[in-house]
């Protein structure tokens, strides 16, 4: 497995594979602290392409002042070992100085899709994500890139950006992987206290309960949202609800009834750890 540090090294590796050997390249961008859910995205990339590259970069531009940039879990050695074991062909470890050189002043923003859900409570977050992902895409120029469905708003925004900016990259969404009690896997889970860890599965249970109601014929947003709210309040009393929203899949705007594919999504803070989860409602 190659460990690449500079954009130039990545460009040379990619050029060799693409132009000289005619191979396809799959890309899994990450912020490290890899767990089974990241590895499942790597598996998808390996199944779909000849060579897989993973980037590991905790992107300062997507954290607001006061968010958990400094305490975001980092373990480069363990990440590299996991990538090696999983058959990754190259890992790119960009530096902050190379990604954001002095005077950096160019940002990529997808309008409209970031007004609700995490976009409302984390202003500037998605601008940081789309800026770094477009820089990573420009350097790697993959055929396929794989993102997790847990960060569904991020995935939808990246799909839109890729289409609008004609990157010519196929974006694949990997399913959310869960612990046995239903908690969505996340790098932030390790920072939950034991008490919060016990309460955290309530997010998935609440969404599943509303999804069952929807399958039984209830499609009014208010009733489904109330089910989620009540279940979280009851089973995760120390969680602070950031949002519970039901939005359309295409425009990510609130809906009153579920008539077409929609997204029921939650964000809850347990102390300084903010967890998100979602479920798709579709007949
Ligand atoms: O989902 C993540 O880990 C990050 O937001 C991403 C896509 C790697 C951009 O920094």
pLDDT tens for each residue of 197-241:
999 999 999 999 999 999 999 999 999 999 999 999 999 999 999
| Cα(116)–Cα(243) distance, integer angstroms | 9
Q: What value, to the nearest 5°, has the Cα angle with vertex 61 and ends 15 and 201?
A: 100
Residue located nearest, by CA, to atom 1 of ligand 1? 30
- pTM, 2 dp: 0.96
Reported as type and span, the H/E element at residue 11 is helix 7-15
Q: Quick one: pLDDT at residue 98? A: 97
Give residue 81 CA to ligand 1 midpoint distance, Å: 20
Cβ distance 41 to 146 under 8 Å? yes
- Judge whether 24 and 5 are in contact, CB under 8 Å: no
* 33: enclosing H helix or E strand: none
Active site residues: 38
Please give all residues whose beta carbon lies within 6 A of any atom in ligand 1, as ranges: 29-31, 59, 62, 129, 132-133, 151, 154
pLDDT band at 175 (very low <50, low <70, confident <90, very high): very high
pLDDT for 161 equals 98
Task: Please give the Cα distance from 15 to 19 (Å, whole number).
Answer: 5
Looking at every residue in the chain, the average pLDDT score rounds to 97
Rg from Cα positions in the chain: 19
Range list of β-strands (E), the chain: 2-4, 25-30, 51-56, 90-92, 144-148, 170-174, 240-248, 262-270, 273-281
Distance (Å, whole) CA 2 – CA 90: 4
Give the span between the Cα atoms of 264 and 220, in whole angstroms.
12
pLDDT of residue 66: 87
CATH code at 2-174: 3.40.50.620
Q: Confirm or reject CATH 3.40.50.2300 for domain 187-278, answering yes or no.
A: no
Q: What is the largest CA-CA distance in the chain?
A: 59
Rounded to the nearest whole angstrom, what is the distance from the C-alpha of residue 239 to the centroid of ligand 1?
A: 24
Q: What is the pLDDT of residues 33-87, one digit of tens each?
A: 999 999 999 999 999 999 999 999 999 999 999 898 999 999 999 999 999 999 9
Q: What are the domain boundaries of the chain?
A: 2-174, 187-278
- CA of 126 from ligand 1 middle (Å) equals 10
Tokens 């400094």 — which residue?
70
- From the CA of 215, how far away is ligand 1's center (Å)? 32
Task: Return the residue whose CA atom lies nearest to atom 6 of ligand 1.
Answer: 30
pLDDT score for 123: 94
Nearest residue (CA) to ligand 1, atom 9: 129
Task: Specify the pLDDT at position 283.
Answer: 83
Place of tokens 């295409």: 250
- What backbone torsions phi and psi does residue 26 show, to the nearest 5 degrees? -105, 145
CA-nearest residue for atom 8, ligand 1, is 30
């Amino acid at each position: 497995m190659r460990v690449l540090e500079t954009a130039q090294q990545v460009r040379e590796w990619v050029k060799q594979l693409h132009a000289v050997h005619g191979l396809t390249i799959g890309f899994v961008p990450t912020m490290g602290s890899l767990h089974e859910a990241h590895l499942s995205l790597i598996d998808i990339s390996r199944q779909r392409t000849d060579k897989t590259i993973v980037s590991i970069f905790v992107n300062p531009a997507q954290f607001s002042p006061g968010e958990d940039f400094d305490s975001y879990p980092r373990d480069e050695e363990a990440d590299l070992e996991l990538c090696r074991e999983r058959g990754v062909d190259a890992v790119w470890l960009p530096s902050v100085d190379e990604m954001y050189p002095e005077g950096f002043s160019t940002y990529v923003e997808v309008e409209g899709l970031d007004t609700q859900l995490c976009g409302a409570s984390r202003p500037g977050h998605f601008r940081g994500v789309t800026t770094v992902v477009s820089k990573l895409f420009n350097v790697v120029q993959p055929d396929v890139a794989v993102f997790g469905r847990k960060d569904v708003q991020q995935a939808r925004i990246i799909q839109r950006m890729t289409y609008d900016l004609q990157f010519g990259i196929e974006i694949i969404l990997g399913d959310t992987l869960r612990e046995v009690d239903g908690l969505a896997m996340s790098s932030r889970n390790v920072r939950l206290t034991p008490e919060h860890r016990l309460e955290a599965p309530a997010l998935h249970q609440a969404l599943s309960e509303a999804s069952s109601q929807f399958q039984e014929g209830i499609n009014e947003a208010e009733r489904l949202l109330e089910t989620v709210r009540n279940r979280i309040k009851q089973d995760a009393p120390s969680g602070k609800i950031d949002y519970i929203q039901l939005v359309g899949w295409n425009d990510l705007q609130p809906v009153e009834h579920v008539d077409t594919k929609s997204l029921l999504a939650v964000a809850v803070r347990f102390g300084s750890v903010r967890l998100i989860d979602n479920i798709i409602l579709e007949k």
